[in-house]
Structure 1
Amino acid sequence: MIKTAHQRIPSDVTVDMNPMLDIVFILLIFFIVTASFMRETALPLNRTEQAVTSLVPILTPVFSIDAKNQVYLNNRQIDLDSVSINVARLGAQGEITSISLRAHPNSQHATLVSVLDAIKAQTSAPVSLGETLK
Protein backbone atom coordinates (compact mmCIF):
# COMPACT_ATOMS: atom_id res chain seq x y z
CA MET A 1 0.00 0.00 0.00
CA ILE A 2 1.11 3.36 -0.94
CA LYS A 3 0.49 6.05 1.46
CA THR A 4 -0.31 9.37 -0.02
CA ALA A 5 -0.26 12.50 1.86
CA HIS A 6 -3.62 14.12 2.04
CA GLN A 7 -3.60 17.79 2.33
CA ARG A 8 -6.05 19.22 4.66
CA ILE A 9 -8.12 22.21 3.55
CA PRO A 10 -8.38 24.80 6.23
CA SER A 11 -11.92 25.01 7.54
CA ASP A 12 -12.00 28.77 7.91
CA VAL A 13 -12.30 29.52 4.17
CA THR A 14 -14.96 32.09 3.32
CA VAL A 15 -16.38 33.28 0.02
CA ASP A 16 -16.41 37.02 -0.47
CA MET A 17 -19.49 38.06 -2.49
CA ASN A 18 -18.79 41.81 -2.56
CA PRO A 19 -17.06 41.80 -5.95
CA MET A 20 -19.95 39.75 -7.37
CA LEU A 21 -22.48 42.27 -6.08
CA ASP A 22 -20.46 45.10 -7.59
CA ILE A 23 -20.50 43.42 -10.97
CA VAL A 24 -24.27 42.79 -10.78
CA PHE A 25 -24.99 46.43 -9.93
CA ILE A 26 -22.69 47.70 -12.69
CA LEU A 27 -24.49 45.46 -15.21
CA LEU A 28 -27.87 46.60 -13.91
CA ILE A 29 -26.93 50.26 -14.27
CA PHE A 30 -25.54 49.60 -17.75
CA PHE A 31 -28.76 47.96 -18.95
CA ILE A 32 -30.95 50.67 -17.45
CA VAL A 33 -28.93 53.45 -19.03
CA THR A 34 -28.68 51.84 -22.46
CA ALA A 35 -32.28 50.63 -22.65
CA SER A 36 -34.51 52.51 -25.05
CA PHE A 37 -37.88 53.23 -23.55
CA MET A 38 -40.72 53.40 -26.03
CA ARG A 39 -43.48 55.90 -25.53
CA GLU A 40 -46.95 54.60 -26.04
CA THR A 41 -48.61 56.19 -29.00
CA ALA A 42 -51.94 57.84 -28.43
CA LEU A 43 -54.71 58.35 -30.90
CA PRO A 44 -55.09 61.93 -32.07
CA LEU A 45 -58.25 63.66 -30.92
CA ASN A 46 -60.19 65.96 -33.16
CA ARG A 47 -61.64 68.53 -30.81
CA THR A 48 -64.33 70.83 -32.02
CA GLU A 49 -64.12 74.54 -31.41
CA GLN A 50 -67.89 74.78 -30.94
CA ALA A 51 -69.46 75.11 -27.54
CA VAL A 52 -70.83 71.91 -26.09
CA THR A 53 -74.58 71.98 -25.67
CA SER A 54 -75.87 71.10 -22.26
CA LEU A 55 -78.40 68.37 -21.67
CA VAL A 56 -79.84 70.30 -18.74
CA PRO A 57 -82.59 72.70 -19.86
CA ILE A 58 -82.21 76.37 -19.02
CA LEU A 59 -85.21 77.78 -17.16
CA THR A 60 -86.32 81.36 -16.58
CA PRO A 61 -89.45 81.28 -14.41
CA VAL A 62 -91.73 84.30 -14.25
CA PHE A 63 -93.43 85.15 -10.96
CA SER A 64 -96.17 87.77 -10.88
CA ILE A 65 -98.20 89.30 -8.08
CA ASP A 66 -101.56 90.85 -8.94
CA ALA A 67 -103.48 93.61 -7.17
CA LYS A 68 -105.17 91.07 -4.86
CA ASN A 69 -101.77 89.71 -3.69
CA GLN A 70 -102.22 86.41 -5.51
CA VAL A 71 -98.95 84.85 -6.68
CA TYR A 72 -98.61 83.37 -10.16
CA LEU A 73 -95.80 81.24 -11.54
CA ASN A 74 -95.71 81.18 -15.35
CA ASN A 75 -99.37 82.33 -15.43
CA ARG A 76 -100.44 79.56 -13.02
CA GLN A 77 -101.74 80.58 -9.61
CA ILE A 78 -99.79 79.17 -6.68
CA ASP A 79 -99.99 79.64 -2.93
CA LEU A 80 -97.56 82.02 -1.25
CA ASP A 81 -96.31 79.21 1.01
CA SER A 82 -95.47 76.98 -1.98
CA VAL A 83 -93.16 79.44 -3.77
CA SER A 84 -89.98 77.84 -2.41
CA ILE A 85 -91.27 74.34 -3.24
CA ASN A 86 -91.97 75.38 -6.82
CA VAL A 87 -88.55 76.99 -7.17
CA ALA A 88 -86.92 73.81 -5.84
CA ARG A 89 -88.96 71.71 -8.29
CA LEU A 90 -87.89 73.94 -11.18
CA GLY A 91 -84.27 73.73 -10.01
CA ALA A 92 -84.49 69.93 -10.11
CA GLN A 93 -85.88 70.02 -13.65
CA GLY A 94 -83.17 72.25 -15.08
CA GLU A 95 -80.77 75.11 -14.50
CA ILE A 96 -82.40 78.35 -13.40
CA THR A 97 -80.41 81.18 -15.00
CA SER A 98 -82.61 84.10 -13.97
CA ILE A 99 -85.99 84.76 -12.40
CA SER A 100 -88.41 87.49 -13.31
CA LEU A 101 -90.68 88.90 -10.61
CA ARG A 102 -93.44 91.35 -11.56
CA ALA A 103 -95.62 92.99 -8.96
CA HIS A 104 -98.72 95.11 -9.41
CA PRO A 105 -98.37 98.65 -8.05
CA ASN A 106 -101.32 98.03 -5.69
CA SER A 107 -99.93 94.78 -4.23
CA GLN A 108 -98.58 94.71 -0.70
CA HIS A 109 -94.90 95.08 -0.06
CA ALA A 110 -94.94 92.16 2.41
CA THR A 111 -96.07 89.79 -0.34
CA LEU A 112 -93.24 90.89 -2.60
CA VAL A 113 -90.68 90.45 0.17
CA SER A 114 -92.09 87.02 1.09
CA VAL A 115 -91.79 85.85 -2.53
CA LEU A 116 -88.24 87.22 -2.79
CA ASP A 117 -87.22 85.50 0.45
CA ALA A 118 -88.69 82.18 -0.70
CA ILE A 119 -86.88 82.43 -4.05
CA LYS A 120 -83.53 83.33 -2.50
CA ALA A 121 -83.87 80.48 0.00
CA GLN A 122 -83.82 77.99 -2.87
CA THR A 123 -81.55 79.47 -5.55
CA SER A 124 -78.83 82.04 -6.06
CA ALA A 125 -80.06 83.00 -9.54
CA PRO A 126 -80.48 86.73 -10.14
CA VAL A 127 -84.01 88.11 -9.76
CA SER A 128 -85.21 90.96 -11.92
CA LEU A 129 -88.04 93.09 -10.58
CA GLY A 130 -90.69 94.61 -12.79
CA GLU A 131 -94.19 95.98 -12.75
CA THR A 132 -97.34 94.29 -14.02
CA LEU A 133 -100.66 95.89 -14.87
CA LYS A 134 -102.92 92.92 -14.13
Structure 2
Amino acid sequence: MKRVTLSEQAERGVEVNMSPLIDCVFLLLIFFIVTTVFVEETGVEIQKPQAASAQDMDKHSIMIALTADGRVVFGGREIGVNGVRGVVARQLREKESPVIILADGDARTSPLVDVIDECKLAGAKQVSIAASRRD
Protein backbone atom coordinates (compact mmCIF):
# COMPACT_ATOMS: atom_id res chain seq x y z
CA MET A 1 0.00 0.00 0.00
CA LYS A 2 1.42 3.29 -1.07
CA ARG A 3 1.38 6.33 1.17
CA VAL A 4 0.28 9.60 -0.36
CA THR A 5 2.13 12.58 0.95
CA LEU A 6 0.87 16.13 1.17
CA SER A 7 3.11 17.32 -1.64
CA GLU A 8 1.74 14.63 -3.96
CA GLN A 9 -1.84 15.77 -3.20
CA ALA A 10 -0.91 19.33 -4.05
CA GLU A 11 0.58 18.18 -7.34
CA ARG A 12 -2.60 16.28 -8.26
CA GLY A 13 -4.70 19.44 -7.78
CA VAL A 14 -7.45 18.61 -5.33
CA GLU A 15 -10.65 20.33 -6.47
CA VAL A 16 -13.96 21.08 -4.87
CA ASN A 17 -16.81 19.96 -7.08
CA MET A 18 -19.05 23.02 -7.60
CA SER A 19 -21.77 21.25 -9.61
CA PRO A 20 -24.00 20.32 -6.63
CA LEU A 21 -23.73 23.87 -5.25
CA ILE A 22 -24.71 25.39 -8.59
CA ASP A 23 -27.62 22.93 -8.86
CA CYS A 24 -28.90 23.98 -5.43
CA VAL A 25 -28.64 27.66 -6.29
CA PHE A 26 -30.62 27.19 -9.50
CA LEU A 27 -33.26 25.10 -7.72
CA LEU A 28 -33.69 27.82 -5.09
CA LEU A 29 -33.87 30.47 -7.80
CA ILE A 30 -36.58 28.55 -9.67
CA PHE A 31 -38.49 27.93 -6.42
CA PHE A 32 -38.57 31.64 -5.52
CA ILE A 33 -39.52 32.69 -9.05
CA VAL A 34 -42.43 30.24 -9.12
CA THR A 35 -43.74 31.01 -5.61
CA THR A 36 -43.45 34.80 -5.78
CA VAL A 37 -46.75 36.65 -5.77
CA PHE A 38 -46.74 39.45 -8.28
CA VAL A 39 -48.80 42.53 -7.45
CA GLU A 40 -51.04 43.62 -10.26
CA GLU A 41 -51.13 47.33 -10.79
CA THR A 42 -54.59 48.55 -11.64
CA GLY A 43 -54.51 50.96 -14.51
CA VAL A 44 -57.45 53.21 -13.85
CA GLU A 45 -61.00 52.38 -12.94
CA ILE A 46 -62.26 54.45 -10.12
CA GLN A 47 -65.79 55.56 -9.46
CA LYS A 48 -65.64 55.71 -5.69
CA PRO A 49 -66.73 56.35 -2.98
CA GLN A 50 -69.06 53.37 -2.72
CA ALA A 51 -68.14 50.26 -0.79
CA ALA A 52 -69.90 47.06 0.18
CA SER A 53 -68.00 47.06 3.48
CA ALA A 54 -69.08 50.57 4.46
CA GLN A 55 -69.90 50.84 8.16
CA ASP A 56 -71.98 53.27 10.15
CA MET A 57 -70.05 56.32 11.37
CA ASP A 58 -69.34 57.04 15.01
CA LYS A 59 -71.38 60.00 16.29
CA HIS A 60 -68.35 61.47 18.02
CA SER A 61 -66.09 61.40 14.96
CA ILE A 62 -64.23 64.43 13.67
CA MET A 63 -65.75 65.02 10.22
CA ILE A 64 -63.71 66.82 7.58
CA ALA A 65 -65.14 67.35 4.09
CA LEU A 66 -63.12 67.51 0.88
CA THR A 67 -65.02 68.93 -2.09
CA ALA A 68 -64.52 68.07 -5.76
CA ASP A 69 -62.68 71.35 -6.33
CA GLY A 70 -60.23 70.66 -3.46
CA ARG A 71 -61.72 72.83 -0.69
CA VAL A 72 -61.39 71.46 2.86
CA VAL A 73 -64.36 72.18 5.13
CA PHE A 74 -64.88 71.60 8.86
CA GLY A 75 -67.98 72.64 10.79
CA GLY A 76 -69.42 74.54 7.83
CA ARG A 77 -66.37 76.76 7.27
CA GLU A 78 -63.48 76.38 4.88
CA ILE A 79 -60.22 75.65 6.71
CA GLY A 80 -57.91 74.61 3.86
CA VAL A 81 -55.33 71.84 4.04
CA ASN A 82 -53.09 73.95 6.29
CA GLY A 83 -55.87 74.36 8.87
CA VAL A 84 -56.54 70.65 9.26
CA ARG A 85 -53.72 69.95 11.73
CA GLY A 86 -54.80 72.68 14.15
CA VAL A 87 -58.48 71.75 14.03
CA VAL A 88 -57.84 68.03 14.50
CA ALA A 89 -55.33 68.62 17.32
CA ARG A 90 -57.84 70.87 19.12
CA GLN A 91 -60.63 68.31 18.74
CA LEU A 92 -58.38 65.46 19.93
CA ARG A 93 -57.45 67.41 23.07
CA GLU A 94 -61.12 67.48 24.03
CA LYS A 95 -61.82 63.82 23.24
CA GLU A 96 -59.89 61.06 21.48
CA SER A 97 -62.03 60.44 18.39
CA PRO A 98 -61.55 58.91 14.96
CA VAL A 99 -61.25 61.26 11.99
CA ILE A 100 -63.53 60.65 9.03
CA ILE A 101 -62.84 62.37 5.73
CA LEU A 102 -65.94 62.90 3.61
CA ALA A 103 -64.27 63.12 0.21
CA ASP A 104 -66.26 63.84 -2.92
CA GLY A 105 -66.08 61.06 -5.50
CA ASP A 106 -64.53 63.50 -7.98
CA ALA A 107 -61.97 64.92 -5.51
CA ARG A 108 -58.33 64.73 -6.57
CA THR A 109 -56.05 62.31 -4.74
CA SER A 110 -53.32 64.81 -3.90
CA PRO A 111 -55.42 67.00 -1.56
CA LEU A 112 -56.91 63.86 0.00
CA VAL A 113 -53.44 62.53 0.83
CA ASP A 114 -52.46 65.95 2.20
CA VAL A 115 -55.51 65.97 4.49
CA ILE A 116 -54.74 62.44 5.72
CA ASP A 117 -51.11 63.44 6.40
CA GLU A 118 -52.19 66.52 8.35
CA CYS A 119 -54.60 64.42 10.44
CA LYS A 120 -51.84 61.93 11.26
CA LEU A 121 -49.40 64.73 12.12
CA ALA A 122 -52.02 66.19 14.47
CA GLY A 123 -52.03 62.91 16.41
CA ALA A 124 -55.06 61.10 14.98
CA LYS A 125 -54.70 57.37 15.49
CA GLN A 126 -57.56 56.39 13.19
CA VAL A 127 -58.26 58.19 9.91
CA SER A 128 -60.95 56.82 7.60
CA ILE A 129 -62.45 57.83 4.28
CA ALA A 130 -66.24 57.81 4.18
CA ALA A 131 -68.03 55.78 1.52
CA SER A 132 -71.68 55.20 0.83
CA ARG A 133 -72.98 51.66 1.15
CA ARG A 134 -73.62 49.89 -2.12
CA ASP A 135 -77.16 48.53 -2.51
TM-score by length of 2: 0.49
Larger Rg: 1
TM-score by length of 1: 0.49
- Choose between structure 1 and 2 for higher RCO, CA contacts under 8 A separated by at least 6 residues: 2
Q: Which has the higher helix share?
A: 2
